[in-house]
Structures are given as C-alpha cells and as structure tokens.
Structure 1
C-alpha cells in the first residue's frame, strides 16, 4: 500500500482559501437585525441572508472581483458598531490585500452617521473601497455625497422605528404594565390565560420582597445612611436574582439608592417622565415611600448647591489645542468687576500639558457670530446643490421600483388568500378556530408589507423635506443667528455643529452636523456646480436634436 505524505507547506496551502492572482478580490458583509429573521423559514440562515449573498455575488461579478471571505452577523442590530463579524472583517482587511467590501445596502453596515463614518474610514485606511450591491456609491464626490445621504436615511429609519416602539411602550405604561425588567423584590414570570396563551406578567419575589420592604421601613426613621443600610442588607443575604449569563451576587451600594427612589414599590409605573398607576402589587405603603424621599433629600450634600455657570455656548465650544471642553470661569479685578472667561477644562484640571489661554466670552461670541457669514451660501449655489441631491433621490426611488413591485405582489397574494379562506369557511371546509388563526397570520403579514411600502415612500419624502428645510435655512443663516436670543442661538449651534474648536490664533474650526457636513462642504458645492453645467449642456443638446425637453422643475431647487 502506498503512503501519501504531505509537507507542512502543502497542508497549509490546502487549508488556506486560494486567492486569485492578478484579479480584484472582495469581502462580502451580510447582516440581519434579529434572531427571528436569521431563523425564518426553519433554516439556519432564514431568507434574507441568502438573498443578500446572491446580490453581493452578482455585484462582485460586475466588478470583475472574486469574493474570498464572507462575514455574517445574524441577529445583530446596526445601532451598535461592535458586532463580532464586523470587527473580524475590519481586522481581516487590515491583514490581507482586499480591493472591495461589498454590502447589500448601506444600512446593513450602520444605521447612524457616526458609526458609518468610523467604519468607512477604517476600510479606506486599509485600502478597501466600500461598494453597495443596491446603491450607486463610490469614492467620487457625488458617490460619497450619495453615501452620506443613504446613511442619513438609514439613521432616520432607525430613529423612526425607535419612536414607534416608544409609542407602544407608552401605551403599555399607561395601562399599568411593567416596561422593563421587574426591579429587586419582583419576578418576571409567564402564565397561561384562559385560552392557553402565554402572558408575561410580574409577581412578588417571595425570597427578596420582605427584605426590600424592611429596608424602606428602617430608612424612613432617618437613623440610617445608605451605606449602613447596604451593609446590613448584604449581611441579611439580599442577593441579585441569577440569570443565564450572571450568577447571583450581593447587591451594590448604588442599587440601594435605586431601590429607595423607585416609585414601582408603591405601585406606580414611571416612564418618559410620566407616572401611571401600575397593575402590580405594591410592597411598600405610599406614606412610607414618601417619607423615605424626604430623608434622602435631607441627606444631600452641600455640593448640590454649588452655583452653575450657564451660557448658550457651553457644551458647544472646545479647546483647539487639546480637544477638551471650554468651561466658564469668572475673574474679578481689584475694583470688584467680574469678567467671564472660557478656559480649557484640560488645563484647568491639570490634565495634560495644554497651554491654551483663557479668552473672554464676549470675544468668543463675536467670533462665532462672524463665522455664520461663511456658511451662508448664495441662491445659485443652493439651487445647484438641491438639484444634484434631488436627482440622486430620483435614482434611488427608481432603483426601489422592483422591490416595491414585489411587496405589492405579496400584498395581492395575501388578499386573495384571505378571500379563499373565508370561502372555505363558509363551505364548512375550515373550522372557526383555524379560520381565526389563519386570519391573524395573514393580518400580521399584511401589516408588515403595508408598513414596508409606506416606509419606502415616507422615508424619502421626509428626507426630501428635511433637505429642503436645511438648504433653505442656509439662505440667510447669519442674519437669523444675529437676531436670535440666547436660547435660540444655542439651538442654532446645536443644529449646525457637533463641536466648535477655538485655535490659538482665534479662528473657529468646526465639525458639522449632518446634513450640513455635506451642504457646507466647498468640494460638494463645486461638484454641484459642475453637475448643473453638465445637465444644462445635455438639455441643450437634446433640445437642438429635437428630443423631448426635460420636465421643468426636475431639480426641485429652492428659490434664492
């Protein structure tokens, strides 16, 4: 018998994926947000992941590239950037020669602008171009502008979804339901209703509720501090409930204060600043709870009464040398006159070696007021930028036509299925319990499809409206800022800038909020001017050739 032997290099070559020589290579990133999506259809990957994989493969073929590695985050939200496969992909492209990172859509990568910029910079630093299988983004100025718009739309969708979730939670709180996990002294449990369905509810914890009630009673006497109470509760064995990921352990000192200030124990639900009567059982009498709050108020230290200096620029201006916040300090001369200054918090606190000198607040106010003259743009520039961006929106909506058609077809199929179901029930072929079950399923699927169809239109409409408002505001922003009172000046600065840095030469240096990071970019404005000139030239050529002229007002630009 012949024995086959392989040396170490041969084994490694068999175990290492082959990388094409002489051709472009790419990595593919796939993601779904929930475990339910990842397992839909009873498969390991559900439906979305294979669809994304196929779209990315086709895009790679168009680029003449070979996908050498695939990274899949199944059931990971794009609101966080520390997804395991995303982190592994960033590490991979820094260690291997890769030309493209292909995603199905920009929102698969990130759903907030800050994470999108961070991830994009990491890829670019590794020499990798980000490519979307569904959107026309690239490294050109217009492509990067479109990338910014799409990531902003993704952030809008994510925040809108969060708003709808908050509406549901607010309704639950108004009905007395428990919003989050039940606090110490209670247990989240599942019970069966009269129809056999599982219902999540809250019950008193027989092991811990007595200790919580005792803690309120003794603290209400005013003879205990929170530190003493914590020590005694630990001695008596008050531990946190165990979970699949964390074992039981003694409660911390901060937990004692949270317990004593939580109105849940007197039977109330607190959510988003409002208080509602809860349906759970109270384990602390209301009068005892209010007495505990009085004792806590009397224990507050004198530090809480320290004077707070406030100003509309506070929290917006930063040291241009070390990046620390500028804080307000008052200096008094020998005649008793007080002069307010902005000083670097890094230098003031003794951290680092910053040498930034203090600057009078009124001087900073004048500098920023003058800076608004720079960001004000002319009517022609606004028209060019608006026209280019709306043209990009038109392309995006046209690209979504196929997906909308698929959703509409799915809606028609479900409507037909519902009609046939009713006909079968009237013919005694489907019993009542099965009819209700199927109607609930069809109704849920129709709601999902209708919401997605509405979202397609609403997100573009909202983004367009926001774009129009943002561009229109740039028409006379300097005059508006000068006429504002302090409260509205704070709102203006927060709307336009994420930070204003003051350099040693006295010149402000700003970082913009989106979408002003694009609208105020001189390169984007120049690119819009070129786009407008090319569009006008193309229209003139078509007119001379006898072609149908373009629809008037396609640019949807704001007036000067």
Structure 2
C-alpha cells in the first residue's frame, strides 16, 4: 500500500499546474481521499531543542530523520499508509500548547476526520505530562484515532493501554526527575562560581578543554568589555543621564551581541540601568539570594561600583532626568589646543571626591579620553574667573554705542517718512483706477466700444487694484524689531563684565549662550572666541572704525553710517542684515 501511495504522490507532485498558486494542501487532501479509510496514518516527529536540529549536515539534524525511518517501518508493519507528517523542531516537551505542528495535527483530527492512526517515535515525543496525555488520548479515542509508538508496545488492546499508562507515568516522573537533577547541577555549578545561562554584556560563553573534558565557562569579550568599563567611568562623572550614556556608547561603537533572531543594536536604557547595578561585573554570582565569588574575571573595582550605586540611588530618589546644565559654562567651552590642531572638541565636567570627602570639579577636553589631546584638567574656579575677565574684551566703546543709536534713530525717521510717501502714492493710483473703471462702465452702457474689449480692460484694472491694495495693506518690514535687537545688543555689551559679575548662574548660562558660539580655553586662559549675531557684525563694524579712524568722521551728507549699504529706493539703508 505504501508503494502505491508513493506512486500517487510522485504523480501529483510532477503536475506543475496542480502545484501552482500554493496548491500543496489540495495535493495532500487528494492523496488522503485515495487511501482506504481505516489505514490512514500521520506521523509526528519532534526534538526537544534547536541544538538537536543543528548538529548535522542534514538541515533536520540527526534525530528527526532517524525518527521518520522508524515511524515509516512501523506503518509498513501495520499495513498503514502515511498521508502526512508533522515535524516539530526544537519544542520543549512540557509546553504542548506552544507546539505549533502538534496543534495543527490535532485540529486536522477534529475537523477533517481523515486520520485513523498517529504514529510517534516514542510516547515521550508526544507528552511527558500525565494529565496532558490523558486529555489528548480521550480526545483521540472519541474520534476513533489510535496512537501508535514505533518503539513501544502501545495500542488499543488492554495490554497496550496498560503499557501506555505505565509509560506515561514513567515519562512524567523522568521529566520531573531530569528537571530536578538539572536544577541541582546548575545550582552546584553556581555555588562553585560558575555562570548559568547567557553571559552578560562584556563577557562571552566559551568552551574550554580541561583534562580531556569540555568545560562550558565564561571569558572576557575583548570587543565589548572596554565599553562596559567606560560606561561605569562616564556615568560616575555625573554628566550623563542613562539616555545620554546609551547614545554616547552607541556613538563610540558599542553594540549588543547579535543572535539568530536579533541583529546587533544599541544598548537600551533599561539594560544599561541593569548593567550598572549588576554585581556580576565585580566578579560575583548569586545563588538562592546569596552572593559567592565567581570564576569569571571582574571588569569593575569596588570603589567605582559603589560610587555608581550612590549616584543611581540619588537619581532614583529624585527621579532620573536629563541634566542639560550641570554647570552654567558647560556647552559653551571648547578646547583651545584642539582648535589649533584644526579639531573642534568640547570641554566636559568631571566631579571628583577625595578620601576626606572634599569635592573638586574640573573641566577637561573629551579627546583626553582617547589620548589625542594633552591639555590638562583645569579647576572650574579658574575657568569661571577667566570667562568673567574675558567679558571685558567684548565691550563696545561709549562713542560707538552713541553713534549707532543716533544712526538707528535717524534711519527709523527716514523709513517712516518713506512709508508715508508710498502710502500716498498708492492711494492716488487706486483712485485713478476707480475713475478708469467708471469711464469704461459708462462706455459699455453707451455701446461705444465692444463688450469683449471692455471686459478685458476691466479685468486688467481689477488685477492692478488687487496688486496695489496688497501693497497698501501689507505692513512693510518694521524697522522697530531690528532696532530693538540692536539696542539690546548695545545695552548688553556697554559694560558686559559688570553685567556678567552681577548675574546668577542661570543668567550667566543664558548670557554665554546668547553672545558666544564658542569660548576656547587653553590651560586656564581664554584663547579665542566666536560671537553670535548681531554681536559679531557689530564688533566687526567697531573694529573697522577703530583700525581706520582714530576719531569718528565728520557727518556725511547722505547720513549713512559706516556698516550700512544703500538699498534700492531713496533713504533706505541696510545694516547687519536688517533694512532701515
């Protein structure tokens, strides 16, 4: 019977049209319909772990093909025809509800009614839980389906049912005994300092040879271990939130270990938080709530770990937040030595506490961490004093301030006069259009001119009216906004050092960010700076005056101040990108 079945399958599988558009289920159904009821069998093949599938050149491994051969021989012995098979690679024996193929097979038994026998290699391949076995068997008997083991004497006979019950009970006992034995051995391994399961980030699961035996152990991951150490060192500075730290480590090259299901990716905030709290990195493992010395190499020393825990605890109490401004100068300071080398690099803050509990704060170049910059750490008090003194160098002279204010006031007056003239001109043009429109309407009434020609002229008048009205109603660029901006810049830099000295830290931070793009520090001195607008243009104008004229020039007939350019139209000037 099996040879006839094989011939039919070969014939159907050779029909390309039948197999088109996913018709394989129809093939199997056709095969099942040709087999005599009472001899239809399906086989169920399963291994417990994915490792059993991946240990041979055959994609199914060694175990599944061996089970298939045994089940096929059993079908031949009983004169049964195998109409289908269900293969379950790497599913645990204790979770029947999660076995996809097993559930598909039961659904077919319940709904299709075309299965008379289920053949398994061993009863334990189907169930190791006595209750599950009883439920499934009751369902199969209700539907007239017989379970057959290829290697055990179980069937529908009284002796076969007795053997079935004994084997099911024994399988459950063996499953639980094996589980308890594995748990005991894992516990003993942990008590001896071994690591159970997947190694944490920074370590690798490896196999070692010892006295002719293969030992599963843990080794330091040369790629990721330095990043784990760096994570603790950066976090303890207090300059990084967990989100900041995750981004920083990702930018520097840290990725998680890839798996068969997940590619390498950025370390999440939650995993980073757990890593910073994990005493495994100190060299310990935990067994039943007790800590024992592990056999793996520590990555972090006790002092660093304790300081990280203190910071985590303080932030946990207050609530973890991104620390945008731990110091009012942070974000404004850059390394002067790196600038000379053509590199732009910020200075970052480091807080340290000595053995007596005294706290010190330093600024240092981030490139020191990779050894590419030799600039020293600078005490924060020295940097604060240097920045305060540097404000005196960006002061506007009193003569410059007075002159710019006078010129801005004059430009505003001229602009207002120009706008009044424009308003008058536009109003006159609109009145002229109204007159032309009225005349055309009168001509149309007298039929003096053709209707189409009049309509064309009226449409042109309408377009001109819309254009003039838009110009009239649209507010022209208001000089007062630009004037207020320039006035604010002049006021800030009339006596900036005194202003800065009287500000609190929050106000100093705002001033630094409003005036400077960057302040370059070398040792404890300010080496250079880059100003924001409009301060940069205003300083360029003042510098031009100071280098070309010792005293201000005599008033000019065009009343245009230095630094201004004439724009199209009378009495209109452009200064520092704003129209006057």
Could you say whether these structures have the same fold, taking a TM-score greater than 0.5 normalized by the shorter chain as the test? no
Higher relative contact order (CA 8 A, sep 6+): 1
What TM-score does the superposition give when structure 2 sets the normalisation length? 0.41
Structure with greater Cα Rg:
2
